[in-house]
Structure 1
Amino acid sequence: MDRYSELVAFLQSARSRSFSAAARNLDLTPSAVSKLVARLETRLGVRLFVRQGRTVALTEEGQRYLPSAEMVVEAMADAEAHGEALGEALHGRIRIHTMLTFARHQIVPWLPQFLQAHPGLSVEFHIAPQYEDAFDKGVDIAIHSGALPSSSRVARKIASSRWIVCAAPAYLARHGTPRTPDDLQQHTCVGFSFVSEWNVWPFRAMDGTTYGVRPASVVDTTQGEIARDLALGGFGIVRLAEFHIGEDLHAGRLVPVLESYQDPSKEPLYLVYPNRKHLSPRVKVFCDALTERMAAQPWAR
């Protein structure tokens, strides 16, 4: 009997509050997740969830059982990490959950050199614009920016990056340069199509107060890389992270606008990993390489 699968199904269902959502995260069917949880409940002799239509909620017994289940799953991951350390050479696959913009501009440039130095390693990217807890699906680390949801995971700040309002010189030559944030309403802007604080562009007023402007975007996208491509083509004005467009700014392909109103605050970049005592050697060597490169903040020349 695979008791570990029962625990993973229980934990994922507790976090997502849905057997269907848990099934998607685990690449199982909802009925399979329901059966795993039911089998666990039968073995324990208690109900762990209250079924409420399409959602589930932990019972009092389920809430008491949750910390123990988390400890067991983390201990299993810890044991695997120790097992990997028994071999002399680094080997295995590193599964990374991150944004397309960060993967393409801050990992891919040095990844071939890293893999050449560690021929026993391979990398698998799980790309999403926002953070999600995918560790129960086999992800080893996550790299994301901005506010993270409260959880038992370990989040370590590895860098920080400004957001820059900018456009291509060709666009500004055709349409003029906005002089105040309110002028953005008369310009073509590109935003994000998901609910995010990134859709409100913060600016600093002359008196030092900060206020937000939500431009009327002509195009919305889930991927910042599409917004960058549109901006580079002279389509409109964007607000993107400096780690994403730093090279474009330095080369003059994109030009900052409204600099006197620029919000000086920086958004943190986090390295997230499961709450365990020991990272596996294959993951640790990657995290060390990433941290070293992020400390230099190569985009902020």
Structure 2
Amino acid sequence: MDNYSQMLAFIWANECGSFSAAARVHNLTPSAVSKLITRLENRLRVRLFQRGSRVLTLTEEGAAYLLSAKAVVEAMNEADSVAEALPARVGGTLRIHTMTTFAKHQIVPWLPEFLDLYPALDVEIQLGAQFVDHFEQGLDIAIHSGVLPSSSRVAKRIGECEWLVCASPAYLAEKGVPAVPADLLEHRCFNFSFVSPWSKWSFVQDGEGVSVPVTPSASFTQGDLLRDLALAGAGIVKLADFHIGPDVKAGTLVPVLEAYKSGIIEPIYLLYSDRKHLSPRIRVFIEFFQEKWRQHPWKVA
């Protein structure tokens, strides 16, 4: 940056006709201007001005250097003007990684409205059940629930969810409603196929936590398939309210063992990599969707 200051001092001195005049116009001392230009001449190993008692005269080398110096300063000013406009410009590609069911039920319904607001922005959604730190590969945002691994990323809590054990009215009418957690062992249940807190069926009974070792009749990595089986009356599932909240409100899925709920509320986090210099495309996404999720519209009650 000192090289740039030297260049500016040189241009100002030429425009103003003297070191002292340049200093007055740009709120510097004459000695500061003189030192900057002397350092510039020493660095270039050439004299740029003929110093007179009253005025400065460019040397032949100084006149040649002035053209280049002005071109550099103009380029720097143009770059600054572009940079100043960046916060107002929302464009490019926004890359998001999140859970499939969250994307389908809590992002996609609002996505057309968001894209209408920012037509120059493209959204690429990558899906996966568990958080994977791909920020170094160009990821902008991750949205995941539960306990996250230790990370240097910024984690903003945007909501919470509850996991519900439920089945269709048709299944419960045919097979009966489980009265206590252990009754699940006599029912057909479906579960996730990977190791996760989501695949544990935990309850509170007689003041103590109990976990029912459900043996699933079928298991999947994808929650929507579990939901489909439950809606079809095939068995009992455990899914998040952000996923099946509308089904429960509509009565097409019915929560069971409500008296034994663990009461665990799982946080939902939005993660990004840099708190200080937030890209406009990330900022507008956070602001838009946080407003949509503020009241946790998926809540059953």
Under a length normalisation based on structure 1, what TM-score does the superposition of the two structures give?
Answer: 0.70
SS in 1 for 2:109: coil
SS in 2 for 1:217: coil
Moved over 3 A (4+): 82-85
Larger radius of gyration: 2
CA contact (8 A) 1:165 1:240 kept: yes
- Runs of 5+ consecutive residues of structure 2 not aligned to the other structure: 1-81
Partner of 1:288: 287
- Mapped to 1, the partners of 2:293 and 2:244 lie a distance apart of 15
The one-letter code matched in structure 1 to 2:182 is D
List per-residue Cα deviations over 1:270-297 (Å, max 9, x = no partner). 0011144221001110011111122110
- Mapped to 1, the partners of 2:138 and 2:242 lie a distance apart of 27
Partner of 1:183: 183
- Mapped to 1, the partners of 2:172 and 2:216 lie a distance apart of 17
List per-residue Cα deviations over 1:52-85 (Å, max 9, x = no partner). xxxxxxxxxxxxxxxxxxxxxxxxxxxxxx9595
The one-letter code matched in structure 2 to 1:148 is L
- 1:55-66 correspondence to structure 2 within 5 Å: none
Partner of 1:271: 270
Residues 280 and 216 of structure 1: CA distance in aligned 2, closer, same or farther (over 3 Å): same
Residues 153 and 88 of structure 1: CA distance in aligned 2, closer, same or farther (over 3 Å): closer
- Mapped to 2, the partners of 1:215 and 1:242 lie a distance apart of 20
SS in 2 for 1:86: helix
CA contact (8 A) 1:188 1:218 kept: yes
- 1:47-196 correspondence to structure 2 within 5 Å: 86=86, 88-196=88-196
Partner of 1:14: none
Partner of 2:217: 218
- Mapped to 1, the partners of 2:280 and 2:131 lie a distance apart of 24
CA contact (8 A) 2:89 2:280 kept: no
Q: Percent identity?
A: 53
- Mapped to 2, the partners of 1:217 and 1:127 lie a distance apart of 24
Under a length normalisation based on structure 2, what TM-score does the superposition of the two structures give?
Answer: 0.70
- Mapped to 1, the partners of 2:265 and 2:165 lie a distance apart of 13
Which is bigger in relative contact order (C-alpha 8 A, separation at least 6)?
A: 1
CA contact (8 A) 1:85 1:281 kept: no
Aligned-pair distance for 1:214? 2.4
What is the RMSD of the two structures over their aligned residues, measured on CA atoms? 1.6
- Mapped to 1, the partners of 2:271 and 2:83 lie a distance apart of 22
The one-letter code matched in structure 1 to 2:247 is D
- Mapped to 1, the partners of 2:174 and 2:104 lie a distance apart of 30
CA contact (8 A) 2:96 2:140 kept: yes
List per-residue Cα deviations over 1:131-181 (Å, max 9, x = no partner). 111112211000000110001111111111110000011111111111111
List per-residue Cα deviations over 1:60-118 (Å, max 9, x = no partner). xxxxxxxxxxxxxxxxxxxxxx9595264311111100001000000011110110111
Partner of 2:16: none
- Runs of 5+ consecutive residues of structure 1 not aligned to the other structure: 1-81
The one-letter code matched in structure 2 to 1:216 is T
- Mapped to 2, the partners of 1:259 and 1:89 lie a distance apart of 49
Matched, 1:255 2:248: no
